[in-house]
Chains A and B, each alone.
Chain A
Amino acid sequence: MLNPPEASPAGRSVVAAVVIAVTLILQVSVANRLPLPGGVQPDLVLLAVVALALVAGSMTGMVTGFLAGLAADIIPPADHTIGRYALVYCLIGYLCGVASDEMDRQSVVPFFAVAAGALAGTVLYAGTGMMLGDPRAEWATVSSMVPLQVLYDVIASPFVVWAVLRATRRYERGERPRSDTLAVPAARYRAMSGRG
């Protein structure tokens, strides 16, 4: 349905990189400092990766996911084993990219895809922590955090998806004024973000 590498890959990757960098900074300096009930914060980076993957397909999704994850692993307050977020976001980017091919044009489906991506990402990250014996990822902590985090992610998803779409669409418009490849998902997501 989409074939992003044909549409000037360099420009697209620049947009993706900017989106990820901005999201990452917002994540650590704003989102993580919100004193939300339950002590959990929405994972904006994961949402951005999911949104980019849904728009641009599995290849972009997984490369973006890998790089975003690597950046999330080394951004200053991070204190976990390097590679955990890279692994998780890469997988999620790939899966969401593949899922975007299967999706029909109903506007509810992407919403569930974002929720499923958030759930899978959170569980996978917790899973890697458990496998490595990370004392922070005890079962008690994980089981209380994961549902809440997914809830927050779903609440935050329309805003992030909308912002990502704005960013990618603006670029598309400048490059190719009447592009059919992105018009469909853009409309779809706009309908979706309006709903959320």
Chain B
Amino acid sequence: MKDTRRTRVVLGVLLVVALAMITIDYRGGAESPLRGLRGVGATVFGPVERASASVVRPVSNTFDAITDAPGERRRADRLERQNHKLREQLRSMRLDQDKAAQLQRLLGTAGMGGYEILAAQVISAGQGFEDTVTIDAGSRSGIKRDMTVMSADGLVGRVTRVGPATATVLLATDQTSSIGSRLEGSKEIGIVQGRGRRGLGGHGATPLRFQLLDAAAPIQVGQRIVTLGSQGQRPYVPGVPIGVVERIDRSTGGLTRTAYVRPFVRFTSLDVVAVVVAPPKTDPRDAVLPPKPKPPPTPTPSVSPSASPSGSKRPNARPSGSGSPSTNPSGGN
């Protein structure tokens, strides 16, 4: 096919359109005139993604099973069809159990903080440089912009865009994400910023960076970080565990100090998450943090963990991390 004049004209037109869109969307920012386009994208692709996620899930689970056990593939080849079907049933049952356990823990965590949550599942992830995921709950389920998203382990991110049946979540590891946060057991505040690539890139186990606003404040390796809570509880509700300080930058002279944080959440294998639809009535402070993994001086595991040093400094209304979380998880009403 010849590189005709018409081809070049069309190319020129398309490039100009693309550049114009970039300019308009970039200058417009959040109020961009093109945000309607994104709405169209969410409306059109959201349901398709949901459907494809339900198809893809068993496949990816099979994939996981294969990579987990190298012999699995050989054995699976030999199995009869009937056997295969049985195994499929078993696996789906185990999956359901797994999900139920995850939900149970999620409810426990949310109950401790007094958050009112809505469980959702991750159905797709972003491309290129962005750390974003889509969840299968949208405006029809009552999700709004700037809601906190957490999992049973801790903070996941916040909702940035909402479609009818899906919502986009900006993960805490994204490079544009910054979260007001507080050191456990103290009033020292700082900002947690993402370092990109869901912790898979060159940053190893510390995909988050914590900037302590007071350079002279004490900070130690092993201290844990929770969200500070934003004004009006949006986008971040207070008290959600973020991670553990892993490494502190010794460089001095700056106005802030930098530490590197290992998050509680594994961002590479997000599945069941919870959107906080109503913030807690009172700041849960450190109550939601998991019990400290300290070598126990007393070998009796039945001692109530609320005696652990994390929450003991402060008289707290809630039993911090007691073995059976409150049976009324949505106590935020």
Determine whether B200 belongs to the interface, using a CB cutoff of 8 Å to chain A: yes
Q: Mark A62-83, 1 if CB is under 8 A from B, else 0.
A: 1100100111111111111111
A72 to B18, CA, bound (A): 13
B229 to chain A, nearest CB (A): 24
Closest chain B residue to A57 by CB distance?
B1
Instruction: Please judge, given known A-B contacts A62-B14, A74-B38, whether A29 and B127 are in contact too, CB under 8 Å.
Output: no
Docked complex: B1-59 residues within 8 A CB-CB of A? 1-3, 6-7, 10-11, 14-15, 17-22, 25-26, 32, 34, 37-38, 40-42, 45-46, 48-49, 52-53, 56, 59
Interface size class of B (residues with CB under 8 A): 35 or more
Q: Which residues of chain B have C-beta atoms less than 8 A from A101's C-beta?
A: 1-3
Determine which of A2, A27, A70, A85 lies in contact with B1 in the assembled complex, contact meaning CB atoms within 8 Å. A2
A58 to B4, CA, bound (A): 10
A132 to B22, CA, bound (A): 9
CB <8 Å contact, B129 and A75: no
Q: Which residues of chain B have C-beta atoms less than 8 A from A2's C-beta?
A: 1
Docked complex: A88-105 residues within 8 A CB-CB of B? 90-91, 94, 97-98, 100-101
Determine whether A37 belongs to the interface, using a CB cutoff of 8 Å to chain B: yes
Determine whether A36 belongs to the interface, using a CB cutoff of 8 Å to chain B: yes
Q: Mark B200-224, 1 if CB is under 8 A from A, else 0.
A: 1110000000000000000000000
B171 to chain A, nearest CB (A): 10
Determine which of B10, B123, B132 lies in contact with A79 in the assembled complex, contact meaning CB atoms within 8 Å. B132
CB <8 Å contact, B125 and A84: no
CB <8 Å contact, A78 and B176: no
Determine which of B41, B45, B129 lies in contact with A141 in the assembled complex, contact meaning CB atoms within 8 Å. B129
Closest chain A residue to B198 by CB distance?
A39
Determine which of B18, B49, B56 lies in contact with A66 in the assembled complex, contact meaning CB atoms within 8 Å. B18
Determine whether B268 belongs to the interface, using a CB cutoff of 8 Å to chain A: yes
- Which one of B148-156, B159-167, B247-255, B302-310 is at the A interface? B159-167
A158 to chain B, nearest CB (A): 19
Determine whether B322 belongs to the interface, using a CB cutoff of 8 Å to chain A: no
Determine which of B11, B41, B130, B169 lies in contact with A90 in the assembled complex, contact meaning CB atoms within 8 Å. B11
Q: A29-B125, A136-B130 are in contact. List 8 more A-B contacts (CB 8 A).
A: A28-B134, A29-B49, A29-B124, A39-B200, A77-B125, A79-B170, A79-B174, A136-B196
Taking Cβ atoms with an 8 Å cutoff, the residues of B that contact A are 1-3, 6-7, 10-11, 14-15, 17-22, 25-26, 32, 34, 37-38, 40-42, 45-46, 48-49, 52-53, 56, 59-60, 122-130, 132-134, 160-161, 163, 166, 168-170, 174-176, 196-202, 268-269
Q: Which 5 A-B pairs have the closest CB atoms?
A: A74-B41, A39-B200, A83-B21, A39-B197, A87-B18
